[in-house]
Structure 1
Amino acid sequence: MTQVNQISKLISYNPSTSPSTEKLITLGAGCYWGVEHHYRLHFGNKLKNIVVGFANGSEDSKTSDDSITYKKVTSGTTGFAEVVQIHYDTNDVSLKELLSFFFRLHDPTTANRQGGDIGTQYRSGIFPSNEADLKESIQVKEEWQPKWGNKILTEVELLTNFYDADEYHQKYLIKNPEGYACPAHYVRDL
């Protein structure tokens, strides 16, 4: 049996050896490269790293022992969500700050879509890496419910698996400034 990936190969984070102030959060808010770009612009060097990938899908969907492809995920048959995985230090930014931005950046009241992007891969999700962050994530979601008319559909569950997206999707909007950006991704004044 192969080991299930939960941490990007592009992030130098190990929960056993990294400082206790370093953490990981995985977020799904629609098209991942737009979400990544907004987090980079807003938080800058407060983030240790941010990458795009796929999370919480069926292990049977893998194309090899350690990968899942964009083409397969966009078929809508894998259960994977397009996500960003954020490595951060709580001395620089808190989980609550990252999640508050998450709830301002996309529409968490739509099921399996953001703007014209439709499918389970575009679902809204918060995938913490540990029980303490799961509890805090649920609490933050509840705090945001009234601001969205108590209609937030964001799933909040522990991260079960993660696979990096292809290299050409990492920092996509930096490499392709004229590339597609989901119009549903903008920072709302809530």
Structure 2
Amino acid sequence: MTTSYVLAGGCYWCLDAAYRALRGVTDVASVFTGGRTEHPSYAEVCTGSTGHAEAVVVTFDESVLPAEVVLDAFFTMHDPTQLNRQGADVGTQYRSAMFPRNDEQRARFVAARDRAAEWWPGEIVTAIEPFGPIYPGPEEHQDFFAKNPTQGYCLAVAAPKVSKIRASFSAYLA
């Protein structure tokens, strides 16, 4: 069964790269969601004024990659205790949030957030927000890490997150 989750946890380049390392992930799209501006540009989202988060739509085959693993990986690849930021990326566009499409996803997201609270010191600030319109990020931002492996941000920020996922979820590597 193919399932898609919409998740935000800092810069979408990092989530995109980390999810692509997992077997059973069939697609990852970098998107904007959770805001009030229709069809925002990347530059607009970067200002923080649109209300949108940088997010990914991660599509996966549950017969290969359990939903719980997808969600536990989400809470491993970013710091869900940082409000409206991930490291040096600051602003509501970098918030930790989950956007459930239905009640079943909402229940799974709550359960995953509760599991994460057991491993993270400090309060989990990951919001579960209403599902709404999704706008694609720029084409050059799709699969950014693979296209730009020597880019400074990729080396300094995305690569360590991919390494963390590879180490933590080795049984599920692509």
- In structure 2, the partner of 1:28 is 8
- Structure 1, residues 145-180: CA drift from partner, whole Å, max 9, x if none? 121125110011332121100100001111111122
- In structure 2, the partner of 1:50 is 28
Q: Give the TM-score normalised by structure 1.
A: 0.79
Q: Secondary structure at the match of 1:128?
A: coil
- In structure 2, the partner of 1:90 is 62
- Structure 1, residues 119-141: CA drift from partner, whole Å, max 9, x if none? 00000011121110111110111
Alignment of 1:58-97 (within 5 A): 58=36, 61-62=37-38, 67-97=39-69
Relative to total residues, which structure has the larger helix share, 1 or 2? 2
Q: Give the TM-score normalised by structure 2.
A: 0.86
CA contact (8 A) 1:76 1:121 kept: yes
Kindly, what percent of the aligned residue pairs are identical?
32
Give the letter for the 1:47 counterpart.
V
CA contact (8 A) 2:99 2:129 kept: yes
Larger CA Rg, structure 1 vs 2: 1
Query: Could you tell me how far 1:88 is from its partner in structure 2?
Result: 1.5
5+ unaligned residues in a row in structure 1: which ranges? 1-20
CA contact (8 A) 1:134 1:157 kept: no
Alignment of 1:3-152 (within 5 A): 21-41=1-21, 43-44=22-23, 46-58=24-36, 61-62=37-38, 67-152=39-124
Distance in 2 separating the partners of 1:47 and 1:169: 18
Aligned: 1:183 with 2:146: no
Q: CA RMSD in A?
A: 1.8
